[in-house]
Chains A and B, each alone.
Chain A
Amino acid sequence: MVDLSKPLSPTDVDESRQVQLGWNDYMRAILQDYITFFALSFVLLLIVFTLGADFLAPHEPTGLNLRDRMLPPGSIGRGGDFYLLGTDELGRDLFTRLIYGARVSVSVGVLGAVLSAIVGVTAGLMAGYHGGLLEDIVMRLVDGMLSLPSLLVALFVLFILGGGFGNLVLVFLVLHWMVFARMARGLALDARNSAYVQAAVSQGCKSGRIILRHILPNVMAPILVLFTLEIAVLILSEASLSFLGFGVQPPDASWGLMISGGREHIRSAWWLVAFPGLAIFFTALSLNLLANWARAITDPVQRWRWLAKRTKFRKSK
């Protein structure tokens, strides 16, 4: 063992050059960025509703209440109940159903995206890193499945299996893992040639460890952005499928289902279609804006620019 009691080169220690930005700076920056602030708030609101639907909803989402049917927004029902957004053709409070619908949409979207991401990213990273036959097989599978008309396939599969939450998530997994796989494979190809991965190889790392410990953390940023966008895509898909009757089944609440049910009353009771539609629109919009912001925040240069525009300079002493 070499005697390492004395350091070799008499150089001074360099101070950390990084400016440490704290939470306060980020909070302040978000508050000044109105668009991101709106998007973040909306998404947080959705999450709150998803988790606390049972506590926050004023009424029951299911159950008939024919006395109070088709009431416009802001009306007070026969029994003195206040209906913020009106009632539907069966007398159910629209606001309540929106909240429960949010729970369904968000859960399906997030769960579907998470599962697709796990499967897709794993397949993509392994294909990109190992190359050869594995890459060929995976990528041809991706190409093939991407060529399928996803809506028709979804309808067909759901027709056979029946609708419902679980089947929806399954269909989404099968039809959406490819996007992640393609992106992950490209990222792995890039990372494979980078010096720090080669350094890991030269240190004797096995490929599994390299993919998990070295490549994955460094490619998370674009995957995260894609993930956010995919949630929006899945929420829209779920709305479409439920609208067509293949997704969530009545009497459960789902935004798409609510639009479908309110379609025939669009002239007399506009609120039945408008509010679910707006909910879908704002959800997808917020997620897209959030994805935009996530893209900026994960790239060091753009993050700096975003912060610099919104925080005041601090003069040094």
Chain B
Amino acid sequence: MININDLPGYDDAAPLLEVDNLCVTFESFEGEVAAVDGVSFTVNPGETLCIVGESGSGKSASQMAILGLLSTPPAMISGSVRFCGIELVHAPQSTLFTVRGSGVSMIFQDAITSLNPSLKVGFQIAEVFCARTGSDRANGRKYAIELMERVAIPDASHRVDDYPFQFSGGMCQRIMIAMALALNPKILIADEPTTALDVTVQRQVMELLKSLSKNADLALVLITHDLGVAAEQADKVMVMYAGRTVETGLTDAVFAKPYHPYTQALLSSMPDVTNNFNRLGIINGSPPVLTKLPEGCSFRPRCQFAAPMCRLNRPQLFVSGPSRASACLRVNDIFKKKSSNV
């Protein structure tokens, strides 16, 4: 059993997760599709980062690439992902096996379908733990009960022998979280953890994640399309569109005053307490087709501020404020004008 500390490149002083220019491309009939096109971000211990985007923005693909969950023949990954200094892109399987679970863990959207319906829940929770540490079944079962209590599943000592179909959606999501925490990872990546859940259950799961994050100094990367969840849970937010990052920054700052037309349009399209019965702000046009991205800025065809320069240059993410970055070439014109009435 290799320890993470023994992996080549491990560096205590390095940031917990550092992603640098990650690109994921797929081959298709119409040519290469860049599902993720140069994404960079950093995660520090105890922090919660929310990656926000709609379908096709590349948010899920980027996280699956981090853990090496995409099969590399159809997908081509380039760039760098470093967990505590250990390079994960194109790393050997042994490195990935060691990092998964004990370094970086992931939970997926629809918990009920992510669980094996014919295995007891306790077995599934303790499975990786037993495999990695060589514990026997009895110890594993005890540990599973501990974990279930940690995620606030009532009557854990009896429910450890139940099957997934005997649990509700919210409970299954907690079981997934318990599984993900079994090896005490430092980062938990959650791919749309609450989308399939009811509002009250969503609240419970989010509170649970928040408390786990605080107690165990666990860093959270939340992928969601729900801006409300992002606003409530995340310290930092990263907005993605058509495989690229369009804006990053501290959550409250970004949502109060967005520095990218897409973020602004997204915010205005959400119903607001003050906006009843008027029309919601809409984003003209339709979601991007990744095989036919426009030249220059990919949001340009739908942007109400588009100018000729937006066609010529593909915007990079650049610093536009304290702890903020935006990929809009016209940030200063549009968002920072003193007398802006946009």
A-side residues, CB < 8 A to B, are 9-12, 14-15, 17, 19, 308, 311, 313-316
Contact of A19 among B29, B285, B286 (CB under 8 A): B29
Q: Count A/B pairs, Cβ under 8 Å.
A: 31
Report the count of interface residues on B (CB-CB < 8 A): 14
Whether B284 and A315, one on each chain, are in contact in the complex, defined by CB atoms closer than 8 angstroms, is no
Whether A12 and B31, one on each chain, are in contact in the complex, defined by CB atoms closer than 8 angstroms, is no
Whether A316 and B30, one on each chain, are in contact in the complex, defined by CB atoms closer than 8 angstroms, is yes
User: Given contacts A17-B289, A316-B291, A316-B292, are A11 and B284 in contact (CB under 8 A)?
Assistant: yes
Chain B residue with the shortest CB-CB distance to A312: B29
Decide if B28 is an interface residue (CB 8 Å cutoff).
yes
Contact of A10 among B28, B31, B284 (CB under 8 A): B284
Decide if B282 is an interface residue (CB 8 Å cutoff).
yes
Cα–Cα distance between A308 and B285 once the two chains are bound (Å): 31
Q: 4 tightest CB-CB pairs across the interface, nearest first?
A: A316-B31, A14-B286, A12-B285, A315-B31
Whether B31 and A313, one on each chain, are in contact in the complex, defined by CB atoms closer than 8 angstroms, is yes
Minimum Cβ distance to chain B for residue A199 (Å): 23
Cα–Cα distance between A313 and B32 once the two chains are bound (Å): 9
Chain A residue with the shortest CB-CB distance to B291: A316
B-side residues, CB < 8 A to A, are 27-32, 282, 284-286, 289, 291-292, 301
Minimum Cβ distance to chain B for residue A141 (Å): 36
Chain A residues positioned under 8 Å from B28 (CB to CB) = 313
Chain B residues positioned under 8 Å from A308 (CB to CB) = 29
Chain A residues positioned under 8 Å from B292 (CB to CB) = 15, 316
27 contacts between A and B (CB under 8 A): A9-B282, A11-B282, A11-B285, A11-B286, A12-B284, A12-B285, A12-B286, A12-B301, A14-B286, A15-B289, A17-B289, A19-B29, A19-B30, A308-B29, A311-B29, A313-B27, A313-B28, A313-B29, A313-B31, A314-B29, A314-B30, A314-B31, A315-B31, A316-B30, A316-B31, A316-B291, A316-B292
Minimum Cβ distance to chain B for residue A170 (Å): 48
Cα–Cα distance between A308 and B29 once the two chains are bound (Å): 8
Chain A residues positioned under 8 Å from B301 (CB to CB) = 12
A311-B29, A314-B30, A316-B31 provided; 15 other pairs, C-beta below 8 A?
Answer: A11-B282, A11-B285, A11-B286, A12-B284, A12-B285, A12-B301, A19-B30, A308-B29, A313-B28, A313-B31, A314-B29, A315-B31, A316-B30, A316-B291, A316-B292
Cα–Cα distance between A11 and B286 once the two chains are bound (Å): 8
Minimum Cβ distance to chain A for residue B302 (Å): 8
Chain A residue with the shortest CB-CB distance to B285: A12
Minimum Cβ distance to chain B for residue A306 (Å): 13
Chain A residues positioned under 8 Å from B31 (CB to CB) = 313-316
Chain B residue with the shortest CB-CB distance to A316: B31
Chain A residues positioned under 8 Å from B29 (CB to CB) = 19, 308, 311, 313-314
Chain A residues positioned under 8 Å from B285 (CB to CB) = 11-12
